[in-house]
Every structure is written in structure tokens, then in C-alpha cells.
Amino acid sequence: MDYEKMLKDIMMSHKYHGMTLDEFKVMFDVKSAQEFTAFMKAVNTGLEDLAFIEVKGKLYLSEKLGYFKGKVRLNPKGFGFVENEDIQCYTSNTKHVLEGDEVLARFIHEKQEDPECEIIKVLHHNLTHLVGSVKMKKEKRPLFMPDSALISQKVRILNWNEFKLVHDSKILVRITKYEPLEGLIEKVIGYKYDPGVDITSLLLEHDVTLEFSQDVEKEISRIPDHLIKKDKVGREDLTDQLIITIDGDDSRDFDDAISIEKLEDGYRLGVHIADVSHYVKENSALDKEAYERGTSIYVCDRVVPMLPQYLSNGICSLNPDVERCTISCVMDITQKGEVTNYRIFPSYIRSKERMTYKNVNGIIHKDEALCRKYDHLLEMVENMLRLSHVIRKRRESLGCLDFDTKEGKIVLDNKGKAKDVVVRERGESERIIEDFMIQANEVVASHLKWMDVPGMYRVHEQPDPKKMREFVQIAQLSGLKFKGNVLNVHPLQCQKLLNEAKKKPDYSVLSTSLLRCMSKARYDAKCLGHFGLALNDYTHFTSPIRRYPDLVVHRMLRKYCFGDMPDSKQVNKDEKWVGKAAIHASDAERKAVECERDVDDMKKAEYMEKHVGEVYQGMISGVTRFGFFVELENTVEGLVHISTLNDDHYVYQEATRSLMGMHRQKKYSMGQKVTVRCVSASRFKKQVDFILK
């Protein structure tokens, strides 16, 4: 008998008012020892999973009593939110919880716009380390001051005497006890104001592992630094083809290369990806560490790689004029952008040129010196340009969303200080490579799906209706109309609205607002489609040096498409593992994004520290009850606090997402251009403050 289902069905009834275990046993006629064991297993499983909750000896469905599981997100002002995939709920009882704690919470009230909850208990602490500064006091024990403004509790350090420290030493502390907070110094990072210590501290604060284990180092020492005879067995030799890489000027690892050939009715595009799976063997120390890292992390002055440099910059990198193992996806594409034929196969190549986006853009714009230097690539670049337009036109017809948002690039001096913040340029060559990689990812995803073998997919689901409704209201304030049902949005509808928005001066704010209401892209063992790209099939195949999901896709291709099909037992095992790995990879990606964003915020604030008092033109990028955020042309964002608006009493208006003056009716809303003065900036708080000029 399925006791768990029976219990849930009964407790779901609106007539159910609670029953004891004995009452359930009588109802289900539980008599034999075997029946009792199965019944208690179902009860205990439900209690452990928190699907059931016991109150005064009676069982209830947790959700029926307003209980739910979530993760804590704290605010430095002393309140926080408990959130999961479905809800973000305000809470004020945050005294004994830490950022990222997984908790059981209960709704106090469930207003649709402003739900509130209380935290019942902490289920799991995700925060394991703290980074902070040492403050030396005369004739007293040192104090530990956590960098995070979210740590309001005092932290007791148990091993001060084991380290020689000075005032403003930066240290890494491992938490050993949570109530009250206690910890052990694990590492002295350096002096607070030394070059690079700030970024290292932030990485460690996010639990980023900076060094590779000795087991990994031992494994890579056994990998040759060049292709040997056995590496080429079972691979097609493509070394005579014109294959090149195109990357940024400062790139050090090259995991994708391209080839192109003009056909009678279209083009033959080859996307050749570094075969990392040839070197990173399943369940090896290298594989386990790559799995844990999940992705490379890119911050201002460094990369924290998923794979050791010996692989990422060496034998796996498609460096020019050397043979490298690859997996190739070669596609025949018509002038209408349709793929009529394709092959995915193991290969080895010899890249003929290490091209940069800058140089390819120069060739496209007919730079004479570059055209002379790379005259052997002129026809190739012309074909690339034409094919990318064909591919892009097809995706645009499907409704692919092009947000065209600005991205800031932080320029550091030789001491690691932020000396400038500029908008990152995105030229035609960047778009070409993006188009080609998306095309290959789509074809590989479709191949895995129709082969019906285990695979990991990049999925992006429909926008949340509530968030979409809020965006539609914002768009209406700018005079735009959304045609469609927010409960069942099609990407083409969103793209049409974005195209209309491009005519508006506040386009960047509108596109950012639409981007924020999108679901987060994630990894899944099921092919659920990609809303933002308007594609039914999509995966990540093209960056296995820096993303673990791409490595998984390569491994599944190797196991199920290039060799003998494993038996059904292995298929089931792989399917379960891929599902678990997809969740972990999504979490690792979120962690990396948060870390990169924190470093950017810190460095942008550091840059603005030298510009306090200066006046800027900006645009209101967000409005809250406590003020509004202003984004400058270079992407630096700061807050104009409501307390600094002295010409009137301003009140937040939910309907218009604006601050309205009660007496003069002056209004501040998203997209509005304003002149501001920077009055303060702090790299340590990662914040910038403006006042209106």
C-alpha cells in the first residue's frame, strides 16, 4: 500500500482537522508487523521531508498550516526574506539566523503583494566561513570584525595565539559553532590595504576554493602536454582545414574554434570544441573538483578556473599551431537559417590563427593594415558575417530576446585599484561567435533529445505572471502596450515590445526591467526549452573548459553517441546522476554570479571614492520606498535616499512605481534623467550615495 499518498490525500481534504498516528492506523487497518513498518516509514519520511508536521500529537500537511521551506536573505538593517522558487516572504525575526540558512518558516499573513512569515527553525547552515579584519586593542584580546554587514552577532575566535597578527590583518575564519558564533582562524589573507587582498577576501567570503588539491596536481602531472598517438585513435583528422579561434584580447583559454565553407544553397559551419572529457575522467580527483567548482569565476584582475591552468591554458586549450583533441559539430545551414544536415563526432584539429574580436571587427570594417595582415582570412570573415546574419534573422523571427543591456568593465591600475569604469564594447565579431555557439548548442541539444539518451540541458522557463504583470504596468507608464496574456507569454510578444521600447529614451531601464522579470536560466536533465532564445531545444556544449555542464554533455555524447550504447541499468544510473548534477551546477553558477557581482560593486564603489563631490548625469533605474537608484552612463549605480529630498514630503506610489511629492506633485520614476552629485562611496560597504543637484 502507498501509505504516503493515502496520508497526503486525507490531509488535503478541507474537512480534515487533524488525526493521531493511532487514528490513522485504525483507519488504514494496520495490523501486521510488515504493514506497521511500511506505515511508519511513510510517516517518518513525510516528517523528515517536512511534508508533514506534528502539532499536539496530530499530523497535518505543512503547507496547509502555512509552513514552508526556504533560504534566508538578510538585509543589513535587521530584517530579511525567506525565499524559494515560488515566493519571497518578509520576516523580522532574524536574530539567530545567517545569510543563506535553510529554514522552516510559517506564514503570519499571506497578502499577495507583501507576505510575512516567522522563522520556526534552522534546518541547515550554508555559511561555513567568514572573512574579516583584525582590530587590535591595547592590553586586550583582538577583535574580529566580519566584512559582511549581514553578520550582526559577535564572533568568538578560539585560536588567536596560533597566529601573528597586526591591526587590519585580513583573516579567514571557519565557523565551528553557530549559537553563539565561534570559529577558528584558518588562513591569514594579508594586510587589508595590500593590492589584491580585497578581491581575495571577497572570493573567500563566498567560499570560493582558490587552490587545487594535491590529488588533482598528481593527476595532471601524468597528462602529456601534447597529443600522442593513442589520443588520435577514433578521431577524424581535421588538421588540414582552415580552423581559427576568435576570443578577447586578454583571453588565455580557447575552448571553441570555427570553420566555414560556402555551399551552393548556404554554408557548412564547423564548431570545434575542446574535448575536455578526454582528459577529465569520470570520478577522478580532477572530475570531482571540477564538479564541486561547477564553473570558472571571472573577476576584475583574475580568473578562478574550474580546471587547473595546465589543462585550461595548456593541453585542452585550442592554441594556434598545435594539435588538440576536439568534438566537432558540423552543420549544413541554408540561406533561410535551416539546418538540413549535421554531424557530431570526435576529431583533432590544428588552429591556424588565434584571432581577437578587435582584429576581426577591424577586418569587417575594412581596416587596411589588418586586411593586408590577414588576407588569407578575408573570404572566411565575409562568409562568417553573412551566415551569422542568416542565423540571427531566423532566431529573431522566432522571437529571440535581445536585451542589449550595458555591461560595465572595471579597469585596474598596477596596484589593483579601480582607475576607471567603462562600458564593455560588443562588436559584430562578438555577435558572430555568439550566433555560431548558440546554433551548435541547439543542434547538440536536439540530437541528445531525439536520441533519447541522458543529457544536461540549459532551460529557461516562461516569466512569472506576477512579475510580468508588474513589468506591463511599468511599460504602460512609458506609453507602451503589451499585447498578450501574461499567464502565457510568447517570446515574440516580448521582443516586439523591446523593439518599440528602443524608440524611447528610457530603453535601458525598460529592457533591464523585462530582464528582471524573466525566470532564471538553469540546468535540467529534461529538455524544457529556452524562452529567452525562443528555442525548443538548448544545451551548453561549447565551453567545457569553464563550465561543468558542457563537460557532462561531452561525456554523454562520448558514452552514448560515439560508442556502444550502455545497458538500461547504466542509462537509469546516468539519468539520476545528471538530474542531481544539474541542480548542483545551477547552484554553483548562482554562487559565481553573486561573487562576480559583489566584486564589481566593490570596485565600482572604490572608483567612486576618488570622485566624491563630482556631478553626473544619470537615469533612475529603480524606485523604492526609501529612495531611488540612479545609474550613470558608465553603469555605476548609487542611491538617492528619500531623506535627502528636502523640497517636499515624498511618498512611494505602488501603482506608478514612483516617489510623489505630496505638495508640489513632483514625481520621480524609472527612466527619468536626473543630475546627481556623489556625496559618499565605500568599497567596504560596496555602496555609492548620491544627492540630487
* CB 278, CB 325: distance < 8 Å: yes
More reliable by pLDDT, 476 or 396: 396
Mean pLDDT taken over the chain: 92
CATH of 129-194 given 3.40.50.920, 2.60.120.260, 2.30.110.10, 2.40.50.640 = 2.40.50.640
pLDDT digits (tens, 9 = 90+) for 512-521: 778 878 888 9
Give start-end residues of each CATH 1.10.10 domain in the chain: 3-63
Region 94-105 average pLDDT: 90
* pLDDT tier, 75 (very low <50, low <70, confident <90, very high otherwise): confident
For 537, the grid coordinates are: 531545444
Lowest mean pLDDT among 19-28, 134-143, 222-231, 312-321: 134-143
pLDDT of residue 374: 97
Region 316-342 average pLDDT: 97
- The CATH class given to the 3-63 domain equals mainly alpha
Residue 612 burial (CB count, 10 A):
13
* pLDDT tier, 252 (very low <50, low <70, confident <90, very high otherwise): confident
pLDDT of residue 492: 87
Q: Is 520 exposed, middle or buried (0-12, 13-18, 19+ CB in 10 A)?
A: exposed
pLDDT digits (tens, 9 = 90+) for 551-572: 999 999 999 999 878 888 999 9
CATH superfamily of 611-692: Nucleic acid-binding proteins (2.40.50.140)
* CB 324, CB 317: distance < 8 Å: yes
pLDDT digits (tens, 9 = 90+) for 441-499: 999 999 999 999 999 999 999 888 888 887 888 788 778 888 778 778 888 888 888 88
pLDDT at 85 over 80: no
| Cβ partners under 8 Å of residue 178, min gap 6 | 98, 122, 125
pLDDT at 502 over 90: no
Region 400-421 average pLDDT: 89
> How far apart are the C-alpha atoms of 59 and 106, rounded to whole Å?
16
* pLDDT tier, 113 (very low <50, low <70, confident <90, very high otherwise): low
Give start-end residues of each CATH 2.40.50.140 domain in the chain: 66-124, 611-692
Region 56-82 average pLDDT: 88
pLDDT at 302 over 80: yes
For 680, the grid coordinates are: 559618499
pLDDT at 284 over 80: yes
More reliable by pLDDT, 564 or 526: 526
* pLDDT tier, 319 (very low <50, low <70, confident <90, very high otherwise): very high
pLDDT at 670 over 90: no
pLDDT of residue 401: 87
Which secondary structure element, helix H or strand E, spans residue 604, and what is its range? Answer: helix 568-609
CATH of 66-124 given 2.40.50.140, 3.20.10.10, 2.60.40.10, 3.30.110.40 = 2.40.50.140
* pLDDT tier, 360 (very low <50, low <70, confident <90, very high otherwise): very high
* CB 146, CB 164: distance < 8 Å: no
pLDDT digits (tens, 9 = 90+) for 136-160: 987 788 999 999 888 888 999 999 9
* CB 540, CB 530: distance < 8 Å: no
Region 519-531 average pLDDT: 94
Q: Is 571 exposed, middle or buried (0-12, 13-18, 19+ CB in 10 A)?
A: middle
- In total, the chain counts a number of residues equal to 693
pTM of the model: 0.86
pLDDT at 111 over 70: no
| DSSP secondary structure of 286-349 | HHHHHHHH-B-EEETTEEE-SS-HIIIIIITS--BTSEEEEEEEEEEEETTS-EEEEEEEEEEE
pLDDT of residue 422: 94
Give start-end residues of each CATH 2.40.50.640 domain in the chain: 129-194
Nearest to 273 by CA among 449, 387, 453, 433: 433
Question: Strand locations in 403-512, DSSP E?
Answer: 408-412, 418-423, 457-459
Residue 676 burial (CB count, 10 A):
21
